[in-house]
Amino acid sequence: MEDRILGLHHITAIADSAKSNLDFYTKVLGLRLLKKTVNFDDPGTYHLYYGDEAGSPGTILTFFPYAGARRGKAGTGMATHIGYAVPEGSFDFWIKRFEEHGVSYGRPAEKFGEQYLPFQDPDGLLLELVIPKNTDNRKPWETDEVKADVATKGFHSVTLTLGKAEKTATILTDIFGYTLQDQTGNSYRYSTNAVEGANNIDIVENPNVSRGEGGAGTNHHIAFRVKDEEVLMRFREKVASKGFNITEKIDRNYFYSLYFREPGGVLFEIATDNPGFAIDEPVEELGQKLLLPPQYEPHRAKIEAVLPSLD
């Protein structure tokens, strides 16, 4: 079987207030809280996961919320914009909802022949709702206020803003199997046909934009999806053979990962479908309680004492 990158697995960003982050993504945007856990390297900080009902790869947006974190600045060397697929005809609903909840948003516009609606989360993270050219048949998570006919289907695309595009594009095409689908000026769309959703990487090449600065409202890394650990390790060989410094396999409880920084400065991760989010709680109970990595379970009382309340 051919080893393939199956589009995006997840995207991880940085936030300030955990409570504001939770309220926005679950109550306003209508995503499901999949996991309430902690940062592997800083157990005094939450790691919050949002997505569809079961946490399907290609729907998973995760956050490290650091209370009082300085606001970051989008710029080159970053994944700057996250696009979510939504049904045709849903923009009126979303504009009304954004106005009701005081969400900063822009006018609908078009790129690569698709309509999109730009908006920002409470920390200024740049987001877009996109009506795909081809109907997205993924089943969305719906809430009492955000029904399936308007709900997000998962990722549509992510935009990398780079000083120079060529070397990053080569990774996408020569290692990850993406192809150049479209170009408009200094914007390029790369896609994979391995999956139907979460399969677009947009690159904006602009050497005149200043370097991005990490902080609240910026993306930390993007993760590409593979089937399992065997495929993961074969991609490790491919990446390493091109001279990139790539990590050993890391167990993230819900998937296995590799990390490397591509030439444009964006941190890339490759992550597996297995074992998934139902490994430590049933799908119907996802996100309801604080789950800790095994090494931190003996320190639960101390950790719970320092984590901010989400109620």
Q: How far apart are CA 238 and CA 159, in angstroms?
A: 24
Q: How many helices (H) and strands (E) does the chain have?
A: 5, 16
Identify whether 1 is part of a domain. no
pTM (whole model) above 0.75: yes
CA-nearest of 73, 63, 76 to 262 is: 76
pLDDT at residue 1 tops 70: no
Give how far the C-alpha of residue 178 lies from the chain's centroid of Cα atoms, to the nearest Å: 18
Q: How far apart are CA 108 and CA 119, in angstroms?
A: 10
Sign of the torsion angle spanned by Cα atoms 130, 134, 139, 143: positive
The answer to whether 237 and 285 are in contact (CB under 8 A) is: no
Q: From residue 144, how far is each of 9, 26, 108, 148 by CA, in Å?
A: 27, 11, 25, 10
Q: From residue 146, how far is each of 94, 152, 164, 287 by CA, in Å?
A: 9, 9, 39, 19
* CATH (domain of 27): 3.10.180.10
More confident residue, 40 or 103: 103
> Which two tokens mark 261?
């920084």
3 state SS of 306: helix
Residue 269 lies in domain: 8-306
For the chain, how many structural domains are there in total? 1
The answer to whether 72 and 212 are in contact (CB under 8 A) is: yes
> Which two tokens mark 47?
């790691």
User: Rounded to the nearest 5 degrees, what angle is found at the Cα of 279, between the Cα atoms of 278 and 284?
Assistant: 25
Identify whether 254 is part of a domain. yes
Total count of residues recorded for the chain: 311
Identify whether 285 is part of a domain. yes
Q: How far apart are CA 187 and CA 159, in angstroms?
A: 9
CA-nearest of 8, 6, 4 to 221 is: 8
Identify whether 2 is part of a domain. no
Confidence of residue 2 (pLDDT cuts 50, 70, 90): confident
pLDDT, tens only, 199-218? 999 999 999 999 999 999 99
Sign of the torsion angle spanned by Cα atoms 32, 37, 41, 44: positive
Q: How far apart are CA 116 and CA 207, in angstroms?
A: 25
pLDDT, tens only, 109-168? 999 999 999 999 999 999 999 999 999 999 999 999 999 999 999 999 999 999 999 999
3 state SS of 105: strand
Identify whether 252 is part of a domain. yes
Identify whether 3 is part of a domain. no
Q: How far apart are CA 64 and CA 15, in angstroms?
A: 6
> How many Cα atoms occupy the beta-carbon half-sphere of 77 within 13 Å?
11
pLDDT, tens only, 7-55? 999 999 999 999 999 999 999 999 999 999 999 999 999 999 999 999 9
pLDDT at residue 263 tops 90: yes
In the chain, % of residues over pLDDT 70: 100
